[in-house]
Amino acid sequence: MASAPKNEKILIIEANSSFRDQFVSTLKSDGYDNVSAFENGESGLKGIYDVLPHLILLDIALPDIDGYQILEKKLAEPLLAKIPVFLLSAEGAPINMRNIPKGSVAEVIISLHASSKDILDKINHYFGHEISDPSAGAAADQSVKKKLLWVEDDKLIGTILAKKLMSSGFDLSHAKNGEEALSILTKIHPDLIVVDLLLPGMSGFEILQQVKMNKDLDNVPRMVLSNLSKVSDIDKARALGASKFLVKASTSLDQIVAEIKELAK
């Protein structure tokens, strides 16, 4: 049975021809009849001007102008600046979060084996359409949400990863510094604590120490998500009770969420 037509215009800039063609087919079979696809940054950027789409799916690794440059050029044009972007790394290539202009991306999708159906579900959810497999969403709603305290002061990473964690079913409490984190811990007993180490005021090490000294919290699993990567930093974090240590710059968002899910079981 054919899906009802959807009015949104979607523009894809994707260097991988097989994935691009597959995804165009998936979108059209789900009712998105107005899909434009481009294989490089130059033609894709021109296409954005010509089409003025409702959503852009942008590959970060392109043969000429890369995804970061397209985001910068798009933001510089008032007519294009507010068009939402899903930033893709369909082959799992690292994305440098600090190269992404603030407020330029609605969703980041990093996967070594990107599923066109999974991305379609994200698009349908973004536009308020029913997802292609309603039972999947129902099953997630029926599960008990895990409480997660996450301490991170970086606004860009905070916004993007917070959305992914909440859409993955977590009851998220997000603190921007140690004082906020300790205040939250007087009100909730989380299933997992994730901390950055470089924070304004109290460091992540100090937060871990406070948690370790609290007999009511010492059994809560702890993870470090930081750009510090010295062996001494890792050893110190583990001595303070962290059972996982992830380096932001070398870990994809999907990997971070997967590790959090595993530790919060």
pLDDT of residue 137: 45
Report residue 257: phi and psi, to 5°: -60, -40
pLDDT of residue 253: 77
- Long-range (24+ apart) CB contacts under 8 A made by 157-163 are 157/97, 157/248, 160/97, 160/105, 160/107, 160/108, 160/253, 161/253, 161/256, 161/257, 163/107
Q: Is the pLDDT of residue 133 over 60?
A: no
Which of residues 13 and 134 earns the better pLDDT score? 13
pLDDT of residue 87: 86
Structural contact between residues 83 and 48, judged by C-beta atoms closer than 8 angstroms: yes
**Residue 107, token pair as written in the block:** 């969703």
CA distances from 195 to 99, 151, 157, 165 (A): 22, 5, 13, 14
Per-residue b/e over 159-178, b at no fewer than 16 CB within 10 Å? Answer: ebbbebbeebbbebbbbbbb
**Most confidently modeled of 63-77, 99-113, 156-170?**
63-77
Q: How confident is the model at residue 111 (pLDDT cuts 50, 70, 90)?
A: low
| pLDDT digits 0-9 by tens, 144-188 | 789 999 999 887 777 778 888 888 889 999 999 999 999 999 999
Q: Which CATH class is domain 10-136?
A: alpha beta
- Which amino acid belongs to residue 172? L
Half-sphere exposure of 34 (CA within 13 A, CB side): 13
Residues contacting residue 75 through CB under 8 Å, at least 6 positions apart: 81, 101, 103, 104
The domain defined by 144-263 carries CATH number 3.40.50.300: no
Q: Is the pLDDT of residue 262 over 80?
A: yes
Q: Is the pLDDT of residue 139 over 80?
A: no
The model's pTM is 0.54
| pLDDT digits 0-9 by tens, 27-67 | 999 999 999 999 999 999 999 999 999 999 999 888 889 89
CA distances from 155 to 97, 101, 204 (A): 11, 11, 17
Structural contact between residues 42 and 64, judged by C-beta atoms closer than 8 angstroms: yes
Q: How confident is the model at residue 94 (pLDDT cuts 50, 70, 90)?
A: low
The burial of 231, by beta-carbon neighbours within 10 Å (0-12 exposed, 13-18 middle, 19 or more buried), is given as exposed
| Fold match between domain 10-136 and domain 144-263 | yes
Apex 165 CA angle, 19 and 214, nearest 5 = 150
Question: Whole-number mean pLDDT of the chain?
Answer: 85
Count H helices, E strands: the chain?
10, 10
Q: How confident is the model at residue 131 (pLDDT cuts 50, 70, 90)?
A: low
Mean pLDDT of 115-129: 84
> What SS3 class is residue 8?
coil
Q: What residue spans define the domains of the chain?
A: 10-136, 144-263
Q: Is the pLDDT of residue 191 over 90?
A: yes
Distance of CA 107 to the CA centre of its chain: 6
DSSP assignment letter at 6: B
**Residue 23, token pair as written in the block:** 């995804």
> What SS3 class is residue 215?
coil
d(C-alpha 153, C-alpha 59), whole Å? 27
